[in-house]
Every structure is written in C-alpha cells, then in structure tokens.
Amino acid sequence: MKVVIGQGSCGIATGARKTSNAFEQLIAEKGLTDVIIDKTGCIGTCYLEPIVDVYGDDGALEARYVKVQPDKVAEIVEKHLIGKSPVAELAISAEDEAFLNQQKRVVLRNCGRINPEKIDEYIAEGGYEAVKKVVTSMSQDEVIEEIKISGLRGRGGAGFPTWFKWNAAKQNPGSAKYMVCNADEGDPGAFMDRSVLEGDPHSLIEGMTIGGFAMGATEGIIYVRAEYPLAIERLENAMQQARERGFLGKNLFGTSFSFDLRIKAGAGAFVCGEETALIASLEGERGMPRLKPPFPAAKGYWQKPTNINNVETFANVPWILANGGAAFAGMGTEKSKGTKVFALAGKIKKGGLVEVPMGLPLKDVIYGIGGGIKQDKAFKAVQMGGPSGGCIPAELIDTPVTYEDINKTGAIVGSGGMIVMDETTCMVDMARYFLDFTRKESCGKCNYCRVGTKRMLEILERITAGKGRDGDIELLEELAAKIKDGSMCGLGQTAPNPVLTTIKYFRNEYEDHIYNHKCTAKSCKALIHFEIGDKCVGCTKCARNCPVDAISGAVKQKHSIDQAKCIKCGKCEENCSFGAIVRE
C-alpha cells in the first residue's frame, strides 16, 4: 500500500509535515513494512489540507482523507492500513469531490497526483514524450504551427498569442537566443504558478525545452520569486534529474539540439512582471522597464532575441504537443481557447485552485465549484486581475470567463486570481488597498505613475477616513485617465483600473463616504461606531477587554459604550460571545 501526503506550501502550512511524520512513526512502530509513504504537490483543494491519499497494491485510489491532523493518523493506520477497511468518516465528502470533478485539468494534470521530486513518476504519465517527438521528428515551424492551431494565449496577464511571440523570436537573426520563464508570480492573490512549480516542475522544464527548440534558443532562464523557497528547491532537483536522464544538456535525444536551464531568483519587485523590466533585473539592474520597440523578440536579454512566457503557459505546451493543438482548441470559446487555472480566495467557502475550460460563467466557478460565499453572506463582487484588474459586481455574475468578456467589464483575466468579496468588504477600501500596492511598486521612471498613484492614494485615504470632498470622484477619474496615458509600461497603464471599476459599479459607496459620512459595508473605522444591542446579557466581558474603559454597566445588565472615550479598536466586538456589539 502507498500513503501519499499532499505537501505543497499550503499543505505544509496546515501541518502536512507533522502528519507525514506521524504516519512514518506509527508505521514503523507497527512494523508495516509493505506500506510506502510518499508525497505529492497541491491538488487544489486548499481548504481541505492536509490531504492524504491511500492507494492499494494494485495502484488504485482506495480513499482520500481530508483535514488529516496528526491526531487522526492512528485511526487511519489502525482501521485502513491494518484493518483494510477505509474510514468513511474521515474521507472526502461527495460535495467536496465535486470541487475536483467539475474541473478539466491540463495545466494541473499531474499536480497532486505524482511525486514532484521523482522524475520517473512524471515519465510514467507520458512526460518527456512530447519533447522527444518535437526534437526528433518535427521542424521549428511545425511546432509553432501546432501552438498556433491550439490558440494558446499567454496566461500571465496580457493574453498575447504564444505562437506569435515564438515565431517573432525565431525569425529574428542571432546565434544566441534566450527562452525565459517568468515565475515571478507577483500578482497578490494568484498562486497557480507556485502550485505547478511545486507540484509538477518537469512540465515546466519540458514546455520550456519545446519552446526553446521552436525559437532556436539553447539556453533558458527561470526567473522565480524569492518568496517561493520550496518551488526553487523542487525545480533545482527536477533540473538535476532531467540532466541526468539527458532531457537537458547537450545533443538532446541524439540530435544536434542542445538546451539547458538555470534559475535566477527574483528579489521582490512587482514591476518585473513587465517583460523589459524582468530582462533588466536578469541583467542585475534595477527592474525598470525599457522603451518598446525594440521588443524582446528582437533585442532582449543582453540585446539578444528573447522570448518570455509565464509558468502556466509553458505547462500547457507539452500537453498540446502530445494531444494536438486541435484538442486544446476544442476546449474554451472561439477566441479564448483551452483551459485556465483560477485561484479562488477571499470570502469563498471552498478556496483553492480550479482549472476549467474558458467560457464558463463566473457564477459556475464561484457557486458551482467554490460553493458560494462564506457564512452564506451576500456576494458583492469578485476582483480579477489583481492590481491591474478590477472588481466585477454581483449583477455581472453571468459573465463568461474569457479574455474578451472580462475586458468588457473593465477588469482583466490577468494571471487568474479571483478574490471574492461579500457585503462586509468596502469597495473604496479595496481601491485604496490596490493603489497602496501600486504606489509602492511603481518603479518611479514615469512621472504620472510615480506621483499620480501617490496622489490618487491620498484622495482614497481621505475618503476612507471620512474626510472626502466634493469633486474627489471626478478628480480620481481625471488622474486615472492621465496616469493611463502618461505611463510607459503595463503597471502604470493599468494601475487606475481598480479605482475606475469600483467607481463605475459602486459609485454610491464613494458618495456615501463623501457626502453622508457612511461606510456602506460598515468596514471603514472612521465612519462607524460601536453600540451594544439588545442581545447583551451583561457578562462584563467587553468592559473587561476595553483598553480605554469606555464600556460601563452592572453585571447582568445591558452595558453601554461611551462614544467620547471609544477608540473603535473593535476589541468588544471580537470578545463578545453573544453578538451583541453592533456597528452603526
């Protein structure tokens, strides 16, 4: 039998290593010599971690256990591994199983199934077959044609056709060319690239090698975020194994094609998602964008033809070459083909990674797969595209998830982060949050981006502090237009989007803040006050926890808050066991 424990970053964060150790210890104690313990990457159901799969001797999955903390290990070992009967109470529910079954997995095909540290498991799933076919039997143009047929578009944000970039880099003359992978997933709220790097690093290596062959590169560079230490470790291990098997290095598969990879750890700069800024960073400079043209396909890394795609884009490539571009194009819609991975997070019941064919309505993702909103509160909006994207309101929940349809709402598909918000999320505060982010991350090259985001942030800060002025909304709109026009790269050009979409769909919230001094979502501290309602039983807990002694009242009597003393710290609300503290 085999016990497989999911050990991506999120699994480990919930205690998967402790669970794994508990299994090891107990299995050794019981002398179960026929049980193998193994690990795998993230399967996507982050809300159920740690996850333990038990496979029978025939290799069939016998049971998938969820939320397995170390205290549950003994029962599984006793009843299932020794007693041979699965423990139904600890297994995944049919409802949660639906989270996985409604998906179509191309990018995540191996994540959560194979051990990412063993190349043989990747090979057993057909790994490195596609690159072998490409290198030994196809021409560069044939590979590019296959990608063109597939309709694959860049999954990092802009959605540019992949074949076009590869072809441009191929056609530009030069003996040295570079294939670069952007694994600097900087968009806060997206983590699909981390999952692929940690759970299926070989698919990235294979995808990059195929791309390298198509454009005529002999060297590839993977630019990974320093915040992903586990990803770097597994990637290094995978590259080493690939070299040992002859999948990387000189004269691959006995041909004249040579290709190798190296890792460059990023140092934390969101602007490096911009191609030319990433190249500057690779060259050891400050990550500031350069003027285009020349495009990287002509003059990129060290002025040589360079192509950059992100992790998810590359992870699609081996599948496309193995199954044919037409099979990929058969999924999705007319202009947005294939599948896309989304990172569901925020106020959602079942957060995690989901991969679905493009064109599925937002509603099916949020309610169908994600199970709806936490505590069944009202759905207010979903934020897509991170700091470059926008908030899509509840009334547009039937929007199909395609590049074109999402663009029409003012948001973008971006790298696929979907942050779900409920009635308690203040949309003005959301806009303030993103502007705070872009203001910090602006590289400072363009005036409008550097100073403009700061000015917009100041306005948003005063609105959320209850000091908004008549004309602020119009001023925000004017600044937004100028920043879009006056910035050289995508960061500045899209930075106003979170503000513009929230003004477009939630103008009433801005007006409430400015003219009525009210926060619609009752979230901005400056615009609310706490009161004690009729549910109060007089337990005195709030009064004891109040740091400024603003709460008074006798035992078993309804308490009250002295508003003049109250500093709105919210300690009473946190500590009340009866839900008696209300925000007004």
Residue 419 as a binder of other proteins (CB under 8 A): the answer is: yes
Q: Which stretch binds other proteins (CB under 8 A): 149-157, 339-347, 395-403, 483-491?
A: 339-347
Residue 390 as a binder of other proteins (CB under 8 A): the answer is: no
Residue 567 as a binder of other proteins (CB under 8 A): the answer is: no
Q: Which stretch binds other proteins (CB under 8 A): 70-78, 164-172, 406-414, 427-435?
A: 427-435
Q: Which stretch binds other proteins (CB under 8 A): 172-180, 398-406, 434-442, 513-521?
A: 434-442
Residue 356 has phi, psi (to 5 degrees) of -135, 155
Instruction: Name residue 482's beta-bridge partners.
Output: none
Residue 345 as a binder of other proteins (CB under 8 A): the answer is: yes
Helix/strand/coil (H, E, C) string of 215-228? HCCCEEEEEECCCC
For other proteins, the closer of residues 254 and 284 by Cβ is: 284
Residue 437 as a binder of other proteins (CB under 8 A): the answer is: yes
Residue 50 as a binder of other proteins (CB under 8 A): the answer is: no
For other proteins, the closer of residues 269 and 457 by Cβ is: 269
Please report, for residues 126, 150, 277, 313, 340, the alpha-carbon distance to residue 323 in angstroms, rounded to integers and kept in the order given: 11, 10, 35, 16, 17
Q: How far is the CB of 268 from other proteins (least distance, A)?
A: 3
Question: Using the rule CB under 8 A, which residue among 347, 445, 484, 559 binds other proteins?
Answer: 347
Residue 421 as a binder of other proteins (CB under 8 A): the answer is: yes
- Type of residue at 315: A
Question: Using the rule CB under 8 A, which residue among 56, 83, 229, 246 binds other proteins?
Answer: 229
Please report, for residues 503, 545, 551, the alpha-carbon distance to residue 541 in angstroms, rounded to integers and kept in the order given: 41, 6, 10
Site map 54..93 versus other proteins, x via CB under 8 A: ----------------------------------------
Six token digits for residue 581: 């503290």
Q: How far is the CB of 139 from other proteins (least distance, A)?
A: 32
Q: Which of residues 179-198 bind other proteins (CB under 8 A)?
A: 185-191, 194
First-to-final CA distance of the chain: 58
Q: How far is the CB of 563 from other proteins (least distance, A)?
A: 21
- Closest by Cα among 405, 477, 388, 404 to 441: 388
Q: Which of residues 256-285 bind other proteins (CB under 8 A)?
A: 264-265, 267-270, 281-285
Q: Which stretch binds other proteins (CB under 8 A): 167-175, 241-249, 393-401, 418-426?
A: 418-426
User: Rounded CA gap, 85 and 75, in Å?
Assistant: 11
CA 272 to chain centre: 17
For other proteins, the closer of residues 152 and 261 by Cβ is: 261
Residue 287 as a binder of other proteins (CB under 8 A): the answer is: yes
Give the burial string for 422-432 (b: 16+ CB within 10 Å, else e): bbebbbbbbbb
Six token digits for residue 434: 């993103």
For other proteins, the closer of residues 27 and 343 by Cβ is: 343
Q: For 258, left (φ over 0), alpha (ψ -120 to 50), or beta?
A: beta
Which distant-in-sequence residues (6+ apart) come within 8 Å of 472 by Cβ? 459, 462, 463, 510, 514
Question: Using the rule CB under 8 A, which residue among 205, 321, 344, 365 binds other proteins?
Answer: 344
User: Rounded CA gap, 285 and 288, in Å?
Assistant: 8
For other proteins, the closer of residues 332 and 416 by Cβ is: 416
DSSP single-letter state for residue 259: B
Question: Using the rule CB under 8 A, which residue among 50, 417, 452, 492 binds other proteins?
Answer: 417
Which distant-in-sequence residues (6+ apart) come within 8 Å of 458 by Cβ? none
Residue 392's H or E segment, with its range, is strand 390-393
- Closest by Cα among 290, 306, 309, 289 to 298: 306
Six token digits for residue 107: 């990018």
- Type of residue at 418: M
For other proteins, the closer of residues 253 and 433 by Cβ is: 433
Residue 428 DSSP SS3: helix
User: Rounded CA gap, 246 and 400, in Å?
Assistant: 43
Site map 87..126 versus other proteins, x via CB under 8 A: ----------------------------------------
CB 41 within 8 A of CB 235: no
Instruction: Name residue 344's beta-bridge partners.
Output: 352, 418
Residue count at the site for other proteins (CB under 8 A)? 55
For other proteins, the closer of residues 169 and 343 by Cβ is: 343
Residue 41 as a binder of other proteins (CB under 8 A): the answer is: no
Q: For 333, left (φ over 0), alpha (ψ -120 to 50), or beta?
A: beta
- In the block, residue with structure tokens 């947005």: 336
Q: How far is the CB of 454 from other proteins (least distance, A)?
A: 17
Residue 13 as a binder of other proteins (CB under 8 A): the answer is: yes
Residue 9 as a binder of other proteins (CB under 8 A): the answer is: yes
Please report, for residues 116, 123, 360, 397, 468, the alpha-carbon distance to residue 378 in angstroms, rounded to integers and kept in the order given: 39, 46, 21, 13, 27
Q: How far is the CB of 330 from other proteins (least distance, A)?
A: 30
Q: How many CB atoms lie within 10 A of CB 421?
A: 23
**Cis omega (within 30 of 0) for bond into 294:** yes
Six token digits for residue 58: 């025939």
**Treating both helix axes as pointing N-terminal to C-terminal, what angle do 427-441 and 447-464 enclose, rounded to 10 degrees?**
150
Q: How far is the CB of 243 from other proteins (least distance, A)?
A: 20
For other proteins, the closer of residues 19 and 383 by Cβ is: 383
Q: Which stretch binds other proteins (CB under 8 A): 45-53, 112-120, 445-453, 538-546?
A: 45-53
Q: Which stretch binds other proteins (CB under 8 A): 168-176, 414-422, 532-540, 553-561?
A: 414-422
Question: Using the rule CB under 8 A, which residue among 62, 96, 145, 227 binds other proteins?
Answer: 227
For other proteins, the closer of residues 1 and 265 by Cβ is: 265
For other proteins, the closer of residues 302 and 578 by Cβ is: 302
Residue 10 as a binder of other proteins (CB under 8 A): the answer is: yes
Question: Using the rule CB under 8 A, which residue among 19, 26, 47, 428 binds other proteins?
Answer: 47
Six token digits for residue 87: 């423990």
Residue 12 as a binder of other proteins (CB under 8 A): the answer is: yes
Binding site for other proteins (CB under 8 A): 9-10, 12-14, 46-47, 49, 185-191, 194, 226-229, 264-265, 267-270, 281-287, 302, 343-347, 351-352, 383, 386, 417, 419, 421, 425, 430, 433-434, 437, 441, 443, 570, 574
